[in-house]
């Protein structure tokens, strides 16, 4: 088996050379951050959520990212149309079920997307993925609850969901777990200040979309995207953490823009089980 850190680092170089177009139907609170993080890693973002063009934009893209952070029925229709187009054309779909478990509408939307669209990567926090696993959750809005984090077995839940949905599942937290049901990786990069900036989860999903658009292995793409965000948190703290969360926020984008194979090889903390 090739070393996952080396494989992820090489994928970053492929991404920067390929510059894949990544279509995002995403959270309007964080849409600007998602666009900038995709640009910073070397890909090209496009945000098109009107039903009249969403599927057409997906058709010319290398990956599709769906994020229900600011869910409404209008964009849900666009997500379904785009997801079905992506499936038809073999374009990877990355789904972020923000707040799943928090409301009937979010639960309905999550179930519909996972039923009608073949998702390649599912990324969420412990509460969101626990809900999808059918275990119930104590979700705190769009954040994972302390109860779910303390009580849940992230590895077992991620493997179960991956096998059920036949996709890569990533549960992000203090230690991130990524699995395709067979391969399992734990990523321990990151910094606690990341939780103080809105949108870091959305940005992580967007990064996974960029890596998926550059390569063919969704598991490697998910590991690379999550490790990249964790490293960005560490580097941003070193550069600007003492200045406060505003400077830290900007430094995350700076760190991703300067990320390269050498940094990943030297600093990524990824363990395959």
Q: What is the DSSP letter of 22?
A: E
SS3 state of residue 79: helix
Q: How confident is the model at residue 273 (pLDDT cuts 50, 70, 90)?
A: confident
pLDDT attached to residue 171: 97
Average pLDDT for the chain:
93
27 neighbors 70 (Cβ within 8 angstroms): yes
pLDDT attached to residue 149: 42
Q: How confident is the model at residue 150 (pLDDT cuts 50, 70, 90)?
A: very low
- Residue 179 is inside which H or E element, if any? strand 176-179
Decide: residue 88, CB within 10 A, 0-12 exposed, 13-18 middle, 19+ buried.
exposed
CA atoms within 13 A on the CB side of 264: 26
Q: Is the dihedral of CA 183, 184, 189, 195 positive or negative?
A: positive
Q: How confident is the model at residue 2 (pLDDT cuts 50, 70, 90)?
A: low
- Residue 210 is inside which H or E element, if any? helix 200-214
Instruction: Please state the rounded mean pLDDT for residues 57-86.
Output: 97
**Residue 199 is labelled as binding a ligand:** yes
The CATH homologous superfamily for domain 4-272 is: Ribokinase (3.40.1190.20)
**Gap between the Cα atoms of 203 and 273, Å rounded:** 26
Is the pLDDT assigned to residue 148 strictly greater than 80? no
Tokens of 267: 């600093």
pLDDT attached to residue 135: 80
pLDDT attached to residue 138: 53
- Buried/exposed 211-222: b ≥16 CB within 10 Å, e otherwise: bbbbbebbbbbb
Strands (E), 5-124: 21-25, 44-46, 63-67, 93-96, 121-124
Is the pLDDT assigned to residue 144 strictly greater than 50? no
Query: Could you tell me which residues come within 8 angstroms of residue 84 by beta carbon, excluding any fewer than 6 positions away?
Result: 55, 116, 117
**Residue 47 is labelled as binding a ligand:** yes
Instruction: Please state the rounded mean pLDDT for residues 131-156.
Output: 62
**Gap between the Cα atoms of 105 and 94, Å rounded:** 20
**Gap between the Cα atoms of 72 and 68, Å rounded:** 8
Residue that wins the pLDDT comparison between 184 and 137: 184
Q: How confident is the model at residue 142 (pLDDT cuts 50, 70, 90)?
A: very low
> What pTM value is reported for the model?
0.93
Query: Could you tell me which residues come within 8 angstroms of residue 20 by beta carbon, excluding any fewer than 6 positions away?
Result: 43, 44, 61, 62, 63, 210, 213, 214
- Residue 8 is inside which H or E element, if any? helix 4-18
Domain ranges of the chain: 4-272
Is the pLDDT assigned to residue 151 strictly greater than 50? no
The pLDDT tens digits for 71-84 are 999 999 999 999 99
Instruction: Please state the rounded mean pLDDT for residues 189-197.
Output: 96
- Residue 227 is inside which H or E element, if any? helix 218-240
The pLDDT tens digits for 239-258 are 999 999 999 999 999 999 99
pLDDT attached to residue 1: 42
């Amino acid at each position: 088996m090739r070393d996952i850190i080396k494989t992820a680092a090489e994928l970053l170089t492929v991404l920067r050379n390929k510059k894949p177009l990544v279509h995002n139907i995403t959270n309007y609170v964080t849409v600007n951050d998602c666009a900038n993080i995709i640009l910073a890693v070397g890909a090209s973002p496009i945000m098109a959520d009107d039903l009249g063009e969403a599927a057409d934009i997906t058709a010319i893209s290398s990956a599709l990212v769906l994020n229900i952070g600011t869910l409404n029925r209008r964009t849900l229709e666009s997500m379904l149309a785009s997801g079905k187009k992506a499936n038809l054309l073999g374009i990877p779909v990355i789904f972020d079920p923000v707040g799943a478990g928090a409301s009937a509408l979010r639960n309905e939307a999550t179930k519909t997307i996972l039923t009608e669209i073949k998702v390649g990567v599912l990324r969420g926090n412990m509460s969101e993925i626990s809900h999808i696993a059918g275990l119930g959750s104590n979700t705190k809005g769009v954040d994972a609850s302390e109860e779910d984090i303390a009580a849940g077995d992230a590895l077992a839940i991620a493997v179960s969901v991956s096998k059920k949905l036949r996709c890569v599942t990533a549960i992000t937290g203090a230690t991130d777990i990524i699995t395709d049901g067979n391969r399992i990786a734990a990523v321990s990069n990151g910094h606690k200040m990341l939780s103080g900036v809105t949108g870091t989860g959305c940005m992580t999903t967007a990064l996974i979309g960029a890596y998926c658009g550059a390569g063919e292995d969704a598991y490697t793409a998910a590991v690379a995207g999550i490790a990249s965000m964790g490293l960005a948190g560490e580097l941003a703290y070193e550069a600007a953490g003492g200045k406060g969360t505003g400077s830290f926020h900007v430094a995350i984008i700076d760190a991703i823009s300067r990320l390269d194979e050498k940094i990943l090889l030297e600093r990524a903390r990824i363990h395959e089980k």
